[in-house]
Structure 1
Amino acid sequence: MKTRIRRYRPADRKQVLAAFRTNVPDHFPASEESWLRACLDDPDGPLFVMVEGKGKQQQVIAFGGYEISPFYHLATLVFGLVRADRHGAGLGRALLNHRLRHMTKSKHRPRYVTVDTHPHTAGFFERCGFIEIARWPGGYRSGRDRVDLRFDLDTLN
């Protein structure tokens, strides 16, 4: 079925939360749901959903956004998740590329894009051109290890 990426709307909230929950506990601890809810309620940057279907039949299958610092040449990816039953289909890469390209059109176009993630998903970002810049054992409050990665937006073709 054909997918498309569009801006997040408040009507998507329930499906975004449901997609998040399919990734608990393997990719996100349940405790991060409160942060996701806060992000949806008061975003610091654009948020996007990948949907499948048309009209009222649309299903959210992926979600993610980003924030851009007005003071530094830096953006940070916010979330970035694909419904667990759709992992491995290239949807995460498509959503990531959409966000990166969207940043290049920003008034405050960043030079670098950072993301923090768990070691088991860091490889995805490395395959997409990100470079590991730090590793923090127990770096998340949940006790999980944290990996920080950076992408040079000037390398985007």
Structure 2
Amino acid sequence: MKIRIRRYRPDDRKSVLAAFRTNVPDHFPASEEAWLRSALDEPDGPLFVAVEGDQVIAFGGYELSDFYNLGTLVFGLVRADRHGTGIGRALLHYRLLHMAGRKGRPRYVTVDTHPHTAGFFQRCGFVEIARWPGGYRSGRDRVDLRFELSDEAVDRLRAESRTETISAR
């Protein structure tokens, strides 16, 4: 079945929260659900879902800071039973290309994550810029990564996006 990425809608809320919960506790502490609910209620930037048929299987968004010429990824998550299928990479590429298409395209895109998911971002071209033991309030370690949204990177993302395959499980 074909995967579509589209803007988040309020009627996606229940499915996004359910997808989040499939990632607790391995990828998110349960305490981050309150932050997710807040982000859904009052987003600071565009939010997107990946859907298969009528099922939400992934969610993520981003925020832009005009002052710092910076984009920040927020809540990139894929339903746990769909990890390793290419959906996360497709959603990441979609968000990066969406930022690149903005009038005030940021020079850099940052993300903070846990050490066990940092490798995913590094394989996608992000560079580690900081590591904070116990850097999250939950006590988990934090890794900060950065991607340079250069013209060359955008061309590469476009080329990869045209050839991406998402495997069904």
TM-score, scaled relative to structure 1? 0.96
Q: Contact 2:47 / 2:59 at 8 angstroms: preserved in 1? A: yes
| Runs of 4+ residues deviating >6 angstroms | none
Tell me, which stretches of 5 or more residues in structure 2 are unaligned? 156-169
Q: Contact 2:100 / 2:154 at 8 angstroms: preserved in 1? A: no
- The equivalent residue for 1:21 is 21
- The equivalent residue for 1:34 is 34
Q: Contact 2:70 / 2:107 at 8 angstroms: preserved in 1? A: yes
- The equivalent residue for 1:76 is 72
* Residue 60 (1) aligns with residue 56 (2): yes
Kindly state the Cα deviation for residue 69 of structure 1 after the two structures are TM-superposed.
0.2
* Residue 148 (1) aligns with residue 144 (2): yes
- The equivalent residue for 1:108 is 104
1:73-116 CA-partner distances (Å, limit 9, x unpaired): 10000010000000000000000000000001112210000000
Aligned alpha-carbon RMSD (Å)? 0.5
- The equivalent residue for 2:91 is 95
- The equivalent residue for 2:165 is none
**Secondary structure of the structure 1 residue equivalent to 2:28:** coil
Tell me, which stretches of 5 or more residues in structure 1 are unaligned? none
| Equivalent AA in structure 2 for residue 62 of structure 1 | A
Distance 2:72 2:109 in 1: 5
- The equivalent residue for 2:51 is 51
Distance 1:104 1:118 in 2: 25
Distance 2:87 2:121 in 1: 13
TM-score, scaled relative to structure 2? 0.90
Equivalent of 1:126, from 114, 117, 122?
122
| Equivalent AA in structure 2 for residue 17 of structure 1 | L
Distance 2:44 2:76 in 1: 15
